[in-house]
Amino acid sequence: MTTPSIPTNPDPRFVDFMAKSKAIEGERLAAAIPRDYLEPQLWRGVAGFAMSWALYAGSVVAIALFGNWYLTPLLLVIAGLGGWGLHCIAHDCGHGSFSRNRRLNFVIGHIALLPLAYPFHAWWHVHNLHHGHTNSLELDTDWRPIPEAVYRRMSIRDRLVYLSTRTWAAWAGTISYWVDSGFRPGYFPKKDMRRDVRRSIWVVAGVLIPYLAVLTWFTGWQGVLLYFVAPWLATHAWFSLTTLMHHSAADVPYLPQEHWTRNASRLLVTTDYMYPKWLLFLTHNISVHTAHHVAPVVPFYNLPKAQEALKTAYPGMVREERATVGKVVEIVRKCRFYDPISGLYATTPMERVAADERART
């Protein structure tokens, strides 16, 4: 008995996607990016690292010195932006695009992720799984949707986490990933991965436990909440919303193994949201993300040039949209469950059935 193909009745947008996927089958996508765009310039990476630390630490100090009921929320948003910028630097470290020195990359990566209390190797190994299986319905680790039938069989806790982080708590989605894998070496399948993660956990514990003890001594638990936990939450908000928007769209599928291809996962499933120039600068071009998936070793400051090269080589294949609050609202309203009939997203199956009935009448 053969297993039915999924999706069972593909949406025209799914069919169009598969046509594009077939058109780039066998292409050497990274060859479209000039080799000199792949070379890191250490001073530029260090400058970005220093800028993001200054933004994060400066905002926290400003909260301590000048914070009040109306200024503190703004400073927390800025602190989160600095923390997110540090994550973007760690991101380059993980891909070897900060420098060609592996040890230096690991040192900077560990330091950059301290505001998130994220053990570098725990994040790095999970992130590599995402790159190896982007938008795979079975294997991607980031924002992978599930059919509502699966959701109904989950525990109440898991259902609450899944649905809330795709609706009103989308800003906290990466906290769930941090809880699942950040401090659990057993989450990882290989012995060397587990060893790496344990070492990173010791680094985080060795720095943050003394720091938080001193912070508690001088500022009390209220100071820990205000000067560490609140910026941590703000950083996760930037982290969550950025990554959610990268790979979630009503017309971009998560693909079952029979349809998934490596080239499509690199070129076709990412939406690049065009930020204002100042925000691009402060986030180290993280929203220029398709070029990163095609060639992860491109340093952040070369991503715009690499993206233009890809657009020239593969016209109409790179997805770009203007970043708006409306797009975030659209994603959290529409992109909740995987629909095995259309191959795309559904808010609920009943909504899809109603839409089909309206189309027939």
pLDDT digit of tens for each residue in the chain (361 aa)? 345 578 999 999 999 999 999 999 999 999 999 999 999 999 999 999 999 999 999 999 999 999 898 999 999 999 999 999 999 999 999 999 999 999 999 999 999 999 999 999 999 999 999 999 999 999 999 999 999 999 999 999 999 999 999 999 999 999 999 999 999 999 999 999 999 999 999 999 999 999 999 999 999 999 999 999 999 999 999 999 999 999 999 999 999 999 999 999 999 999 999 999 999 999 999 999 999 999 999 999 999 999 999 999 999 999 999 999 999 999 999 999 999 999 999 876 444 444 444 444 4
Q: Is 338 helix (H, G, I), strand (E, B) or coil?
A: strand
**pLDDT for res 2:** 46
Question: Would you state the pLDDT for residue 67?
Answer: 84
Return the residue matching tokens 């010791």.
202
DSSP helix, strand, coil percent of the chain (3-state; round to 5): 65, 5, 30
Strand, coil or helix: what is 100? Answer: coil
Helix (H, G, I), strand (E, B) or coil at 136: strand
CB-count exposure of residue 68 (10 Å: 0-12, 13-18, 19+) = exposed
Beta bridge partner(s), residue 136: 255
User: Which pLDDT score, from 0 to 100, does residue 3 have?
Assistant: 52
Closest CA to 265 of 256, 276, 277: 256
- This prediction has a pTM of 0.92
Q: Long-range contacts of range 100-105, CB-CB < 8 Å, 24 or more positions apart?
A: 100/40
Q: Please state the domain extents for the chain.
A: 35-145+164-329
Residues 6+ apart with CB under 8 A from 204: 110, 113, 114, 117, 118, 119
- Model pLDDT, residue 1: 38
User: Which pLDDT value is given to residue 175?
Assistant: 96
Residue 5: predicted pLDDT: 74
